Amino acid sequence: VYEDYPTNPINPYGASKLMAERVILDAAKAYGINYSIFRYFNVGGAHEKYQIGQKGEGVTALIPIILQTAKGEREELSIYGNDYPTKDGTGIRDYIHVVDLVRAHISALPSLEKNISGIYNLGNGNGFSVLEMLNSGREVTGKDIKFKFVDRRPGDPASVVASSQKAKEILGWKAEYTDVSRIIASAWNWYKKL
């Protein structure tokens, strides 16, 4: 997915993201402000030095759910759909480490000072299926994470992977955490200390 890919959300979550972008673009036009809009792909991981990670009630992100199941806080992982036109039938997504996101925000500051505005995808450019994520979670944690297949969620596409080439060219940024096992391991190392 490139930044100029048609924006036609198929679910309320996507529509809310696009609405926020439109507000920023309108404000920039009306008030002459600069902006960097980041389109985050699936954020995961935790800081490897500081005790900062993702946890909370109602978290729906895959990596925390895998880790909750590994830690015994959930009985099993529900995998939404196993009949997608993908290599193993499960949805494919792009995962990005939270530290890479922080680095992207910092890398945008010089462009804003030079009156350069833009919309940027932030992903690592690699797609991983839900089953690949599950298997990586099992390897990282050493746990037999139970799962079940359930019906697809309405509005979920089969595969979404980012092209972050524009961020690389304009901001000088690229993801450093491209191995999903490293993303999961950083989250697990943080999570198991809770």
Residue 158 backbone phi and psi in degrees, to 5: -65, -40
Catalytic residue among 13, 50, 177, 191: 13
Catalytic status, residue 13: yes
The secondary structure of residue 87, as a DSSP letter, is: S
- Strands 127-129, 42-44: pairing kind: unpaired
Q: Are 152 and 83 in contact (CB under 8 A)?
A: yes
Q: Which residues pair with 162 in a beta bridge?
A: none
Q: Are 182 and 98 in contact (CB under 8 A)?
A: no
Closest CA to 133 of 37, 27, 61, 83: 61
Q: Are 162 and 92 in contact (CB under 8 A)?
A: no
Closest CA to 26 of 91, 92, 117, 105: 117
Q: What b/e readout covers 155-181, taking b as 16+ CB neighbours within 10 angstroms?
A: eeeeeebbebebbeeebebbbebbebb
Residues serving a catalytic function are 13
